Structure 1
Amino acid sequence: MDLRQVRTADGRVLEVSVEGPAGGRAFVLHPGTPAGLAERGGIAGPAAERGLRTISYARPGYGGSTPHPGRTVLDAAGDVRAILEHLGHDRFVTAGWSGGGPHALACAAALPGACAAAATLAGVAPFDAEGLDWLAGMGPENVEEFAAAVRGPADLTGFVQARQAELAGVTGGQVAAALGGLIDEVDRAALTGELAESMAASFRHAVSAGVAGWRDDDLAFVRPWGFPVAAVQAPVTVWQGGHDRMVPFAHGQWLARGVPGARARLLAEHGHISLLARFGDILDDLLERAGDW
């Protein structure tokens, strides 16, 4: 994993990871919440096999990226533009997992000339989505966390700080226990080996500089995103699992209806984490949707 630092026009620093062929086409990966940078062989490997260069970054406040208080989901598009310009790419495909899903959609909405296609994998829907009970079906830890987010920054900061120490030292063998009621037997079975180690490393990096990134992600989710999903212009596929207790199935169903022209891949047998086992299929679909780019 090649780590870079990219400076934005407003003077912030973004910590960026690059994996895969130097001459490959750009694939921007938006990780979940909380998440930092980590080796992601299960994603970067299949991407490299398809000629893709995997580019990911720690969102503001995570790891070595400068905090950006008050940021919106839409702000991610500007950060991605800065990163791609720094790396010399003018076209890209993107995918966002979990909390990364809305940020992939921001790119599909705000960078239509550059974003050839996007995928949201177990990604949350807008908090104010019409007809969606946003918290229904979430595990108890998420219900508590987002209730704190709605109450405001002070309450949410206290909530995530209480969990920071646990994630700061978590190992691959401890990840399933740390997630508690947020996963069921389907995701527990998937959370082993390289995937468990990668997720643990991502958690550790996410909180290594404090909780600003985690807090500001959550606040951005329960506030207006800065764009309506109806503004998405790039082709999008929505992937969602029926066993998901972090982002319930209804979120994927809503996005599949709400994003213009979205292709639905609603898989009842998968959960939030087990969905990543389909990453080769996810990439093939992404490239097919991008067409000749």
Structure 2
Amino acid sequence: MWKEVRTGDGRRLAVEITGDPGGSPVFLLHGTPGSRLGPAPRPMMLYHQRVMLITYDRPGYGPSDRLPGRPVAHVAADVAAIADAVGLERFAVVGRSGGGPHALACAALLPDRVTRVAVLVGLAPRDAVGLDWFAGMAASNVNEYTKALAGPDRLAASLRRRSIAIRADPVQLLAQLRRELTESDLRVIADAGIRAMLVRNYREALRVSADGWVDDALSFCSPWGFSPDDISVPVLLWHGEQDAFSPASHSRWLAEHIPSVIAILQPTAAHFASLRVLPDIVTWLLGGRPALTAERC
């Protein structure tokens, strides 16, 4: 079910609700670039787990109105507005990749409403003390975030050029990513269904503009508006050790700074392996024990 939600400052957010309408509510925050149509457990799995899944397009993605200069912390007010519109008092949150910092913002800023938070292949703050933020990161992301650090104009020009090409042919983004994918990730996207979903996701994310992509990158490289040390709700971190898009060292740093945390690192997995563990992550969000085998730190 698609619906439009208005925020307190009058912006429109595009929201998608799937799964069991009477189930336990879980917000799934998409990656970068991404949209409400991105990776998610299959509807049959959601019904089996009795989950109502809420996804939405962050400001500037899809038909959601832009919020220029938004910090990562902005997400808490937007998620609260959606929860109020749907009639939810308490809910869990999971963020994948670029959605990871935003999920942590919900944990830090909505402690009375958020039950549990999971972060898959997420990022640590750019100003994380003791972390070499770019170490192990793919050249394409280093280039993008370096432009973000230099200022918005150069980054915006670059991502807008890319988005025009991707809107014309969304397969281009997958082709660009393929050059930096590990064997693990190549096996994941070899699945035709996953490739079709990713193409649909990127097309929807960028169909209006590249503004969401630009603003995400800028927000990751700016003060987030909260500290991971202040998070009080239970958090699960999942990361593939071979990930080059958001290196596993970021989750290791977060694990040292979030008080109530479980960190699971898969030695042979990379970035897109996170798509396959989502159902197990949802099990944990609902209070169960995920069937994940990995090193814990």
The residue that corresponds to 1:273 in the other structure is 272
2:40·2:278 contact (CA, 8 Å) conserved in 1? no
Match of residue 181, structure 2, among 168, 183, 192: 183
Question: What amino acid does structure 1 have at the position aligned with 2:186?
Answer: R
Q: Deviations over 1:236-255 (max 9, x none)?
A: 00000011110011011111
Question: Compared with structure 1, are the counterparts of its residues 175 and 161 closer, same or farther at alpha carbon in structure 2 (3 Å cutoff)?
Answer: closer
Once the 2 structures are TM-superposed, how far is the Cα of residue 279 of structure 1 from its aligned partner?
Answer: 1.7
1:143 aligns with 2:146: no
Cα distance between partner residues in 1 of 2:30 and 2:38: 12
Higher deviation after alignment, 19-28 or 38-47: 38-47
Once the 2 structures are TM-superposed, how far is the Cα of residue 162 of structure 1 from its aligned partner?
Answer: 2.1
Question: What amino acid does structure 1 have at the position aligned with 2:49?
Answer: R
DSSP 3-state at the match of 2:41: helix
The residue that corresponds to 1:166 in the other structure is 165
Cα distance between partner residues in 2 of 1:44 and 1:139: 33
Question: Compared with structure 1, are the counterparts of its residues 41 and 219 closer, same or farther at alpha carbon in structure 2 (3 Å cutoff)?
Answer: closer
Cα distance between partner residues in 1 of 2:149 and 2:173: 26
Give the structure-2-normalised TM-score. 0.93
1:261 aligns with 2:266: no
User: What is the total number of aligned residue pairs between the two structures?
Assistant: 288
Cα distance between partner residues in 1 of 2:225 and 2:40: 33
Structure 1 segments unaligned to the other structure (5+ residues): none
Give the structure-1-normalised TM-score. 0.94
Question: Compared with structure 1, are the counterparts of its residues 41 and 239 closer, same or farther at alpha carbon in structure 2 (3 Å cutoff)?
Answer: closer
The residue that corresponds to 2:292 in the other structure is none
Which 4+ residue blocks in structure 1 deviate beyond 6 angstroms?
none
The residue that corresponds to 1:66 in the other structure is 65
The residue that corresponds to 1:286 in the other structure is 285
Cα distance between partner residues in 2 of 1:171 and 1:160: 14
Question: Compared with structure 1, are the counterparts of its residues 188 and 84 closer, same or farther at alpha carbon in structure 2 (3 Å cutoff)?
Answer: same
The residue that corresponds to 1:231 in the other structure is 230
1:46·1:279 contact (CA, 8 Å) conserved in 2? no
Question: Compared with structure 1, are the counterparts of its residues 82 and 16 closer, same or farther at alpha carbon in structure 2 (3 Å cutoff)?
Answer: same
Cα distance between partner residues in 1 of 2:173 and 2:48: 28
Q: Once superposed, what is the RMSD of the aligned Cα atoms?
A: 1.6
2:69·2:215 contact (CA, 8 Å) conserved in 1? yes
Equivalent positions of 1:84-163 (< 5 A) are: 84-163=83-162
Once the 2 structures are TM-superposed, how far is the Cα of residue 25 of structure 1 from its aligned partner?
Answer: 1.7
Once the 2 structures are TM-superposed, how far is the Cα of residue 78 of structure 1 from its aligned partner?
Answer: 0.3
Once the 2 structures are TM-superposed, how far is the Cα of residue 286 of structure 1 from its aligned partner?
Answer: 1.9
1:44·1:54 contact (CA, 8 Å) conserved in 2? no
Question: Compared with structure 1, are the counterparts of its residues 39 and 142 closer, same or farther at alpha carbon in structure 2 (3 Å cutoff)?
Answer: closer
Cα distance between partner residues in 2 of 1:257 and 1:205: 36
Q: Deviations over 1:72-119 (max 9, x none)?
A: 111100000000000011110110000000111111111111100000
The residue that corresponds to 1:38 in the other structure is 37
Question: What amino acid does structure 2 have at the position aligned with 1:200?
Answer: V
Equivalent positions of 1:182-221 (< 5 A) are: 182-191=180-189, 192-221=191-220
Cα distance between partner residues in 2 of 1:230 and 1:242: 23
DSSP 3-state at the match of 2:98: helix
2:124·2:250 contact (CA, 8 Å) conserved in 1? yes
Equivalent positions of 1:4-19 (< 5 A) are: 4-19=3-18
Question: What amino acid does structure 2 have at the position aligned with 1:267?
Answer: Q
1:142·1:182 contact (CA, 8 Å) conserved in 2? no
Once the 2 structures are TM-superposed, how far is the Cα of residue 50 of structure 1 from its aligned partner?
Answer: 1.0
Once the 2 structures are TM-superposed, how far is the Cα of residue 171 of structure 1 from its aligned partner?
Answer: 5.0
Q: Deviations over 1:134-191 (max 9, x none)?
A: 111111110110011001110110110121133214456x554221444211101101
Cα distance between partner residues in 2 of 1:25 and 1:42: 14
